[in-house]
Amino acid sequence: MTTRTEHIAAILTALSKVEGLRPAAPVVRPVTSRNPATLAVDLTAEVVRVRLVATALPLPPRLRLAGDAVAKALVGSPYSDAGIRLVVTDVDGSAFGP
């Protein structure tokens, strides 16, 4: 596993603990990894971008938790000084209740 892959795995693990959000893997790209959720994360030294689908509301507190989780996952990594951008690409129908 490469360092980049390990950092993406750490981000996804951290986000898995934030209720109401899930990675939004793009449908148009071919799945080249075992975990399609890895396609929802872009890492550069300047910015870490994570595309998400909201499965619960309200969004602001969930996004704060997600941002904190991503920042903690990157402590001590080459990406620790990068800006974190969380992009909600969709809201799942389940977010609106039964």
3-21 pLDDT, tens digit per residue, is 999 999 999 999 999 999 9
Residues 6+ apart with CB under 8 A from 13: 73
Q: Is the dihedral of CA 56, 11, 74, 80 positive or negative?
A: negative
pLDDT of the residue at 35 = 81
Angle at 33 between CA 32 and CA 34, to 5 degrees: 135
Peptide bond before 58: cis, by omega within 30 degrees of 0? yes
pLDDT of the residue at 60 = 97
State the amino acid at position 18 in one-letter form: V
Instruction: Supply φ then ψ for residue 25, to 5 degrees.
Output: -70, 135
pTM of the predicted model as reported, rounded to 2 decimal places: 0.83
Burial class (CB in 10 A: 0-12, 13-18, 19+), 49: middle
Q: How many residues does the chain have?
A: 98
32-91 pLDDT, tens digit per residue, is 557 888 889 999 999 999 999 999 999 999 999 999 999 999 999 999 999 999 999 999
